[in-house]
Amino acid sequence: MARYKVVIKKTAISELEAIPKKELSRIMEKIGALADNPRPEGSTKLSGEEKYRLRQGKYRILYAIEDDILTVYVVKAAHRKDVYRR
């Protein structure tokens, strides 16, 4: 399988900076692993949207996949109570 490019949106970067360091390292490992497998076990496609969700403890990573250009866009990363709010 080809390796995907992982792009983290600016808004997601600011959200990642607010996460405690202990959790942040685990989240970054999960984000990095998306390059090898953008649909890992445990990821869920969100209904009504072309996005996927990945869980890490109390935090969620929302991302979109563009298979034709082999790119994963991390759109949002936040606590589970806040991540789905617009």
pLDDT tens-digit readout, 1-37:
689 999 999 999 999 999 999 999 999 999 999 999 9
Note the pLDDT of residue 83: 87
Q: Is the pLDDT of residue 44 over 90?
A: yes
- For residue 81, how far is the Cα from the chain centroid? 16
Note the pLDDT of residue 48: 87
Q: Which CATH class is domain 5-79?
A: alpha beta
- What pTM was estimated for this model as a whole? 0.92
Note the pLDDT of residue 84: 82
- Calculate the average pLDDT of the chain: 93
Note the pLDDT of residue 1: 66
Here the tokens at position 73 are: 């866009």
Give Cα separations from 68 to 10, 14, 39, 53, 65 (angstroms): 23, 28, 15, 20, 9
